[in-house]
Chains A and B, each alone.
Chain A
Amino acid sequence: MVTIALEDIGAYYGRRLTVSGITTPTFSSGEIVAVIGPNAAGKSTLFKRMAGLLHGPGMVHVEGSEKGKRAISYMPQDTSANAVLTVYESILLARKQGSGWKVSDEDLALIDGVMNAIDITDIAFRNLGELSGGQRQLVGIAQTLVREPDILLMDEPTSALDLHRQMEVLDFMQQVARERSMIVFIAIHDLNQAMRFADRALVIERGSLKGVGATSEVITQQLLRDVYRIDARIEPCSRGQLQIIVDSVAKGADLSSGSATKAA
């Protein structure tokens, strides 16, 4: 059983402390945690800090993992690489970081397995430059999975995917989290998807924690008004699944401030 908990985490971007004072309860294997918040709230920064790519105060407590530094794997949002590499090679190189030149059959079997699972075998030998945005994101997911981390931090993995692919990827991540006993943090803008797939949610606004807990308890009308500045209802659909129905931009909401300015 692997667990992770954040204790008073902050992160420096340059010299500025852009994220601060984030303390969470303990998350454990098999959980999917949605990290939500407006654009530029600090979700990516928090992920980078958790993965050790940024410095900052506080402690990330990881227990029960035998992988040391490789326990946490961060999947960045930007996937605009134009390297002359095939998809297969780009996944292989994610797997082989820090090891020798020789590629074993086990390495290749693992890659084939992951590519098969996310259904991208048909683009295996296409060059990265020829891929669509959605395909790039799927390749990014494969690159992260072949590193076999215990804790996965996915920065908007579904933002460029159509509905079918979104469902496929989130379903798959849920399955992976359960089967491989991983903890999966997903930064996601679609709150309906967050409610559907995540066990718990962590809300970030302007670099600090606005709430953490079971998704249905965290994602409330009040939160939508305070953090997202919209008037909305959260109602069960005919099958009982909670859905957000947006009515309007909240009156008095300041559109020029943080949440509405930076495009994704």
Chain B
Amino acid sequence: MATATADAVAQEGRGLYRALAWRRILIIVGFAIALALSFTIDIAWGPARYALMDVASAIVSPGSVSDKIRVVVWDIRMPMALMAIVTGACLSLAGAQMQTILANPLASPFTLGISAAASFGAAIAIVAGVSIIPFATNFMVPVNAFVMALVATLIIHFISQARGVTVQTVVLLGIALVFTFNALLAFLQYVASEQALQSVVFWTMGSLTKATWEKIWITTAVLVFALPLFARHAWALTAIRLGEDKAASFGVNVRRIRLETMLIVALLAAVPVSFVGTIGFVGLVGPHVARMLVGEDQRFFLPTSIMAGALLLSATSVVSKSILPGVVFPIGIITALVGVPFFFSLILSNVRRSW
């Protein structure tokens, strides 16, 4: 076969692969541009209508505009817009890796009960003032959320490893976890004081209005911490999608990578939830969009999932301000309204098919 045509064919394969890789990089760049656009609109748009020029000058030289505009832009809109991006990125990344590790297209922090667990953990802190880890009283809410998210993650992790457990079993287990933690949360709400109750209820809806600069930094730090850990295992994580046996035959330590990934997922899911409340379905939809566009080579799948999640939540943030003039809807309500039909379509489509 070592003829000139064979060489030409071989050459062609290489060239086609390079072209494919470039196309995927372009898609990621496209997402970055769209995200920048969405972020700009998110800042320019809000219940208080300001001219675009005023907002722009508030950003470029905060000293030159009135205090009111400065406060609206820098202390309200900017934190909300940034929080939308980092939260979307974290949740989508968590969902992407859950789907990879569990080989389950329906997996995401929200659908498998990790968000509900985190909510419950945070509610313990808000209602009872109890920190699960004794010394962490300053960051009681996120730490509690993380601990409970970790518990839920580990339950899913170990049960999904058992023999004969199917994709559907894990989803049902997730639903059971959602019910359990929601019931526990309801119990806490029942015994909560009036003030604590209000804070818990508002926060189970998921709203970016709780964003502060400190929360943004912490969430970003979690994202920055997780990324290199995933990036280091990019080839191995991709191989896991070919099946456990195959990945192992490539020399991948499947068990260790699974556990490590799930621990990071718990962190990625818990921290944003503890700050802005339960925002569902971003972690489900983001990775699916990424997978459709760039496939599952993690070198492209990871950044695209992050971008897709960030863009989804950023765009939803704009939508949440646009439905009724002067009203900012809790973002969690909107993502749920959009996400539920998507979730349905995934369940109804044949799960065994390529996804």
Q: Which of A73-81, A210-218, A230-238 is the interface stretch? A: A73-81
Write out the residue numbers on chain B whose beta carbons fall within 8 Å of the beta carbon of A121. 9-10, 12-13
Distance between Cα atoms of A117 and B355 in the complex (Å): 30
Write out the residue numbers on chain A whose beta carbons fall within 8 Å of the beta carbon of B239. 93-94, 97
Write out the residue numbers on chain B whose beta carbons fall within 8 Å of the beta carbon of A94. 239, 250
Q: Closest chain B residue to A113 by CB distance?
A: B10
Query: Is A23 an interface position by the 8 A CB rule?
Result: no
Contacts of B232-255 to chain A: CB distance below 8 A:
234-236, 238-239, 241-243, 245-246, 248-252
Query: Is A112 an interface position by the 8 A CB rule?
Result: yes
Q: Are A88 and B235 in contact (CB under 8 A)?
A: no
Q: Which of B117-125, B136-144, B185-193, B291-299 is the interface stretch? A: B291-299
Distance between Cα atoms of A175 and B354 in the complex (Å): 35
Write out the residue numbers on chain B whose beta carbons fall within 8 Å of the beta carbon of A73. 249
Q: Are A82 and B355 in contact (CB under 8 A)?
A: yes
Query: Is A92 an interface position by the 8 A CB rule?
Result: yes
Q: Shortest beta-carbon distance, B90 to chain A, in Å?
A: 22
Given A90-B242, A98-B235: A82 in contact with B14 (beta carbons within 8 A): no
Query: Which of B1, B235, B292, B355: most chain A Cβ within 10 A?
Result: B235
Q: Shortest beta-carbon distance, B345 to chain A, in Å?
A: 17
Q: Closest chain B residue to A73 by CB distance?
A: B249
Q: Are A84 and B245 in contact (CB under 8 A)?
A: no
Given A86-B20, A97-B236, A108-B17: A81 in contact with B10 (beta carbons within 8 A): no
Number of A-B contacts (CB under 8 A): 122
Write out the residue numbers on chain B whose beta carbons fall within 8 Å of the beta carbon of A76. 243, 245-246, 249
Q: Are B250 and A109 in contact (CB under 8 A)?
A: no
Distance between Cα atoms of A94 and B297 in the complex (Å): 12
Given A76-B245, A121-B10: A84 in contact with B235 (beta carbons within 8 A): no
Write out the residue numbers on chain B whose beta carbons fall within 8 Å of the beta carbon of A89. 17, 295, 297
Contacts of A50-99 to chain B: CB distance below 8 A:
51, 53, 69-70, 73-76, 78-86, 88-90, 92-94, 96-99
Q: Are A124 and B238 in contact (CB under 8 A)?
A: no
Write out the residue numbers on chain B whose beta carbons fall within 8 Å of the beta carbon of A97. 235-236, 239, 250-252
Q: Are A128 and B354 in contact (CB under 8 A)?
A: yes
CB 8 Å contact bits of A180-201 with B (1 = contact, 0 = none): 0000000000000000000000
Query: Is B256 an interface position by the 8 A CB rule?
Result: no
Number of interface residues of B (CB under 8 A): 39
Q: Are A108 and B14 in contact (CB under 8 A)?
A: yes
Write out the residue numbers on chain B whose beta carbons fall within 8 Å of the beta carbon of A144. 249
B residues neighboring A (CB under 8 Å): 1, 6, 9-14, 16-18, 20-21, 231, 234-236, 238-239, 241-243, 245-246, 248-252, 291-292, 295-297, 299, 352-355
A-B contact pairs, 8 of them (CB 8 A): A53-B248, A79-B243, A83-B238, A85-B241, A108-B13, A112-B11, A112-B13, A124-B16
Known: A78-B243, A79-B246. 18 other contacts (CB 8 A): A53-B248, A76-B245, A79-B243, A81-B243, A82-B355, A84-B292, A84-B296, A84-B355, A88-B13, A88-B17, A93-B242, A96-B235, A97-B239, A109-B10, A111-B14, A112-B11, A112-B14, A128-B354
A residues neighboring B (CB under 8 Å): 51, 53, 69-70, 73-76, 78-86, 88-90, 92-94, 96-99, 101, 103, 105, 108-109, 111-113, 115-117, 119, 121, 124-125, 127-130, 140, 143-144, 147
